[in-house]
Amino acid sequence: MVTLRAGLPTELRAEAAALYWEAFGGKLGLVMGPHPKAMAFLLRVLRQDHAIAALDEAGGLLGMAGFKTPAGSFAGGEAADVIAIYGRLGALWRLPLLWMLGREVDNDRFLLDGICVTRAARGQGIGTALMAAIGQEAAARGYGQVRLDVIDSNWRAKALYERLGFRVEKTTSIGLLRFVYGFRAAITMVKEV
């Protein structure tokens, strides 16, 4: 049995950071790595109030979906957080790259800020349940649409989103940043709630 919960339980914070890094470290590794620094950063910045958690019967983490609002994002952080973990010199080159990747806030649509499911729980409908919960959260906050961005090389996620009723709104090339992040374009997808 899977339970969906608004907010991330404090005792699962380290597990959530590790799951987030497993899901997104492939594209963020050059900027947020090495692994110990990335974990320290994520533990510092994860906003527990900007997530929906999928838990098993024992309260273990099966997956999570983060979101972004004008008040903040699930895994965003501030410049001070980057400086605290990577130092001033490390922040000097990281901050512009992170800013270019995640600076946008869409006040008209509810923004998904990452979804991930543990390897052992994949294929069991947890991602679908989390996306439904994101739609409910969006509606409860007065939004008429959910928006997400998926990288062009993540065809499995894109296919899931299309099955769930998301439509492609635009594809944006990231230009030379492809050499940093390892993908060529971000696909913006939208669904009515």
3-class secondary structure per residue, the chain: CCEEEEECCHHHHHHHHHHHHHHHHHHHHHHHCCHHHHHHHHHHHCCHHHEEEEECCCCCEEEEEEEEECCEECCCCCHHHHHHHHHHHHHHHHHHHHHHHHCCCCCCCEEEEEEEECHHHCCCCHHHHHHHHHHHHHHHCCCCEEEEEEECCCHHHHHHHHHCCCEEEEEEECHHHHHHHCCCEEEEEEEEC
Q: What percent of the chain has pLDDT over 70?
A: 96
Q: Please, what are the domains in the chain?
A: 3-192 (3.40.630.30)
pLDDT tier at 16, thresholds 50, 70, 90: very high
- Which pTM was predicted? 0.91
pLDDT digit string, tens, across residues 63-114: 999 999 888 899 988 999 999 999 999 999 999 888 776 656 667 899 999 9
pLDDT value at residue 109: 92
pLDDT digit string, tens, across residues 148-172: 999 998 888 899 999 999 999 999 8
Q: Are residues 138 and 14 in contact, defined by beta-carbon separation less than 8 angstroms?
A: no
Mean pLDDT of 114-128: 94
Which carries the bigger pLDDT value, residue 107 or residue 147?
147
